[in-house]
Amino acid sequence: MLAAEKISVVIPCFNADKYIEAAIRSVLAQEWPQLEIVVVDDGSSDNSSKLVRDKFPEVVLLRQANQGVAVARNNGISHAKGDWIAFLDADDIWLPGKLHAQWATLKATPAARMTYTAWQVWSGLEPTPSPECLAALLNDADETDRWSGATGWVYSQLLLDCVVWTSTVLAHRTVFKEVGQFDPTLRIGEDYDLWLRASRVTQILRVPRPYALYRMHSASITKSVPEKNYRNLVVDRALARWGYVAPDGSYARKADVASAMAKSWSDFAGAHLDAGNLALAQQAGLQALRADWRHVNGWKVLLKTAVRLSQKQKK
């Protein structure tokens, strides 16, 4: 199964004409012998599709009405011809050697059907980093200890945090046939939900070296505050189905999961407090303390909300 099989790279794209070329070129630079790139334009109003069509005629270009990243990725998976599927967001970048490093990791554990890599956050606005910037970002990339993380049967670790970043994932297509694809009903956390499901049927191996850049820019940050705590929703759904124990017998401590969920609620409360949604902030702060009454940030956000509500009543 681990000969040089064909890899299909699915790139969802929405108004990314400034970055999509750099993303595609970073895939081509992998020099993988059998490579397919599938770009799914999710209803862009810019020149993304034209740029891909004109500059990369070898790329499979799919266009759909705007339906969100989950539907776009699912569309790409359905059209992909490769036995292995990788993902890359249109404004992110792979670094040279990524696919070969992941393939070597899979060869060392042939039963595994999914791998991901470490990554580095990059705040650049230019399409690609300068050589100097790249060297600065990765000057300690070979320090394995720094870049180590959850690997193997990672379900219990995933209950505490979504440690898998989608733009680094490489998975065999049988994983999606077995556990399904991205859930389009989840506006946020659709990837977290899928990796939890995948962690029930395969080891997920981590390459402890950064092989991708996560571009942090204003357009990549959700401007609207989510109406639901999707992280809590995803984890609750997993716990209801599988509990705390991974397929290999490892488990997450209930207290640790509760603490992680309390943090998700206090973060959610803080976002709504900043947005002026005081009633929702108060409710979320209480949820944080229901999850773990010792959670300090839950108490802090409740206190801040109470002060704001008091000030509002006095006006």
How confident is residue 223, by pLDDT bands cut at 50, 70 and 90?
Answer: low
Position 220 scores a pLDDT of 52
Residue carrying the six token digits 């993988």? 32
State yes or no: pLDDT of 222 exceeds 60: no
* Least trusted range by pLDDT, from 169-178, 224-233, 242-251: 224-233
pLDDT tens digits, 100-109: 999 999 999 9
Position 1 scores a pLDDT of 47
How buried is 14 (Cβ within 10 angstroms: 0-12 exposed, 13-18 middle, 19+ buried)?
buried
Residues 6+ apart with CB under 8 A from 261: 231, 232, 235, 291, 292
Position 132 scores a pLDDT of 81
Q: Which of 45, 46, 72, 70 is nearest to 61 (CA)?
A: 72
State yes or no: pLDDT of 201 exceeds 80: yes
Q: What is the average per-residue pLDDT within 255-259?
A: 97
Q: What is the average per-residue pLDDT within 213-241?
A: 84
pLDDT tens digits, 108-156: 999 999 999 999 998 878 888 888 877 777 776 666 678 999 999 999 9
Which has more pLDDT, 139 or 268?
A: 268
Position 311 scores a pLDDT of 83
Residue 8 near residue 36, CB atoms below 8 Å: yes
Distance, CA of 279 to CA of 306 (rounded, Å): 10
Sign for the CA dihedral angle at 125, 130, 28, 144 comes to negative
State yes or no: pLDDT of 40 exceeds 50: yes
Give residue 206's identity as a one-letter amino acid code. Answer: R
Position 269 scores a pLDDT of 96
Average pLDDT over the chain, rounded to an integer: 93
Position 228 scores a pLDDT of 93
Q: How far is CA 192 from CA 19, 181, 185, 187, in A?
A: 24, 12, 13, 11
How buried is 139 (Cβ within 10 angstroms: 0-12 exposed, 13-18 middle, 19+ buried)?
exposed
Q: What is the average per-residue pLDDT within 277-286?
A: 95
Q: What are phi and psi of 8, to 5 degrees?
A: -105, 130
Q: What is the average per-residue pLDDT within 207-213?
A: 94
Q: How far is CA 58 from the centre of its chain?
A: 27
pTM over 0.85: yes
Q: What is the average per-residue pLDDT within 177-205?
A: 97
Distance, CA of 222 to CA of 92 (rounded, Å): 16
pLDDT tens digits, 49-71: 999 999 999 999 999 999 999 99
Q: What are phi and psi of 86, to 5 degrees?
A: -120, 160
Position 219 scores a pLDDT of 57
